């Protein structure tokens, strides 16, 4: 949701409050898939040191999935910010290692909205901004905020989605 507006058309905002839920669902699905694959391989191998390694990897996967859902995803949502300025898009993220990225308007080739099945279910969208050789993402925005961001950068959008 937008935090500030001014006459120059600049605004800054963060990800949706439902972003953590979406990221937790994605993390849980990924962790569950990895565990099923590891345990399936364990059933095929049945015994030996490799089977023990697969069980240990499955346990590590479960623990890391819980850590991601309880610690990483909420922190990621709290520290992600973006700002649309007259000269371009500024994206900031991270608490301990702060990463700031500035995308000049003159270098933006396309602005694309992506809505996967989980995002659509929660009324969210991710905005992908493409420059030569790279793509930057502003994840999990309310659909109206995503459309607003796309509209703010659209003057350089050359007919892409």
52-73 pLDDT, tens digit per residue, is: 999 999 999 999 999 999 999 9
Considering the domain boundaries, does residue 13 fall inside one?
Answer: no
The reply to whether 112 and 68 lie within a common domain is no
Residue that terminates a domain, selected from 40, 75, 110? 75
- Cα radius of gyration (the chain): 20
Domain containing 92: what range? 81-156
pTM summary value: 0.81
The reply to whether 133 and 117 lie within a common domain is yes
The reply to whether 97 and 150 lie within a common domain is yes
Mean pLDDT of the chain, nearest integer = 88
The reply to whether 101 and 62 lie within a common domain is no
pLDDT at 125 over 80: yes
Instruction: Tell the residue number behind the tokens 């493409």, with chain if given.
Output: 130
Considering the domain boundaries, does residue 148 fall inside one?
Answer: yes
The tally of domains found in the chain comes to 2
Q: Which pLDDT score, from 0 to 100, does residue 5 have? A: 54
The reply to whether 69 and 85 lie within a common domain is no
**What b/e string do you get for 61-95 counting C-beta neighbours within 10 Å, with b at 16 or more?**
beeebeebbeeebeebbebbbbbbbeebbbbbbee
Considering the domain boundaries, does residue 16 fall inside one?
Answer: no
Residue that terminates a domain, selected from 33, 50, 75? 75
Question: What is the Cα–Cα distance from 48 to 1, expressed in whole angstroms?
Answer: 54
Q: Which pLDDT score, from 0 to 100, does residue 155 have? A: 64
Q: Which pLDDT score, from 0 to 100, does residue 9 have? A: 57
The reply to whether 135 and 107 lie within a common domain is yes
The answer to whether the beta carbons of residues 88 and 108 sit under 8 Å apart is yes
Which tens digit of pLDDT belongs to each residue from 24-54?
Answer: 999 999 999 999 999 999 999 888 899 899 9
Arithmetic mean of pLDDT, 139-155 = 89
Considering the domain boundaries, does residue 30 fall inside one?
Answer: yes
Task: Kindly report the CATH number assigned to the domain that includes residue 140.
Answer: 2.30.29.30
Phi–psi pair at 65, nearest 5 degrees: -65, -45
The reply to whether 53 and 85 lie within a common domain is no
Using N-to-C axis directions, what is the helix angle for 49-67 and 19-45, rounded to 10°?
170
The answer to whether the beta carbons of residues 138 and 125 sit under 8 Å apart is no
The reply to whether 56 and 103 lie within a common domain is no
């Amino acid at each position: 949701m937008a935090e500030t507006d001014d006459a120059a058309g600049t605004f800054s905002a963060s990800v949706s409050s439902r972003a953590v839920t979406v990221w937790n669902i994605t993390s849980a699905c990924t962790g569950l898939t990895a565990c099923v694959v590891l345990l399936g391989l364990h059933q095929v191998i049945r015994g030996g040191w490799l089977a023990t390694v697969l069980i240990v990897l499955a346990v590590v996967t479960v623990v890391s999935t819980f850590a991601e859902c309880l610690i990483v995803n909420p922190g990621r949502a709290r520290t992600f910010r973006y700002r649309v300025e007259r000269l371009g898009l500024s994206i900031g993220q991270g608490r301990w290692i702060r990463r700031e990225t500035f995308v000049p308007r003159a270098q933006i080739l396309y602005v694309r909205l992506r809505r996967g099945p989980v995002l659509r279910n929660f009324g969210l969208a991710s905005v992908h901004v493409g420059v030569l050789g790279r793509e930057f993402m502003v994840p999990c925005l309310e659909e109206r905020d995503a459309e607003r961001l796309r509209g703010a950068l659209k003057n350089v959008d050359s007919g892409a989605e």
